[in-house]
Amino acid sequence: MAQPDMHGKVCLITGSNAGIGKATALGLAQMGATIVMVSRDKTRGEAARAEVIARSGNERVDLLLADLSAQSSIRQLTQEVIERYPQLHVLINNAGIAQSKRTVTVDGIETIFAVNYLAPFLLTNLLLDRLKASAPARIINVASMANRPLDFDDLQHEKRFSNMQAYSRSKFAVFLFTHELARRLEGTGVTVNCLHPGVVATNLLRGFSWLAPLAFPFITSPQKGAETSIYLASSPEVGGVSGKYFIKCKEAYFPEGTDDRASAQRLWEMSEQLTGTLNRT
């Protein structure tokens, strides 16, 4: 089957200096897309950008630096994207972290929740006008089969912290966000979907050192893990599909509770307060 032609399409991918993000950038670059790679680390980001260009033969690969744990950095990233790119057709919220101890960001927010969920929420909302103006456009959120219902009275794990619980709840939030955003984007020409990439051999597993031996039989490569992100970003088959969940390039059932509208709306309102993005959609 022939690859989709992505020439003329601008795709922004967070967390693209390694793992699934870099593999996604390479796959879309090979289809001819203009790639905007986002990395926190300049040295690693430049090395990844050079690799994507060399392996794809596509020179239209840019690198922007941002610390997604800091809302001021996300706002600066957004401004750079808007200034450099008159159009944005694909936004892939790929970046994610896991860590063993509870820390808080410069904004005073628990770090896993801030990076895995609030960063996509803020970045997406700040880029929505550009995405709508570029429609048809697509938003892809990397979620996880590892998810656990939110405790709205302890979103930032101040009462009790475990890294698996914090990670799983942040991904549950991504599901709720995808549902509510899809509802708000109806009729705009912008779609949003989420996916589980599989258990992938990336740096993320270092945050779950106790889990890695158990997960070993199920681990797949970053290239395989990126396939569904690439599919959702490029395939004509899902051009009009929105508010869905995919595994291995196939639509899947949402995990229990992740499609609850009342919870999604409640989380959205709390997220607006935490990021200062009231009434943007």
So which residues are the catalytic ones?
167
Structure tokens at 57: 């033969």
Mapped onto helix, strand or coil, the DSSP state of residue 93 is: strand
Q: What is the per-residue burial (b if ≥16 Cβ within 10 Å, else e) of 93-107?
A: bbbbbbbeebeebee
Distance CA 141, CA 179 (A): 11
Structure tokens at 22: 């870099």
Distance CA 215, CA 246 (A): 21
Q: What is the per-residue burial (b if ≥16 Cβ within 10 Å, else e) of 60-90?
A: ebbbbbbbbbbbebbbebbebbeeebeebbb
How is 172-201 classified by DSSP, letter by letter?
Answer: HHHHHHHHHHHHHTTTTTEEEEEEE--SB-
Q: Is 191 in contact with 236 (CB distance < 8 Å)? A: no
- Reference 112, options 157, 74, 149; nearest CA is 157
- Tokens 């089957």 belong to 1
Q: Is 180 in contact with 268 (CB distance < 8 Å)? A: yes
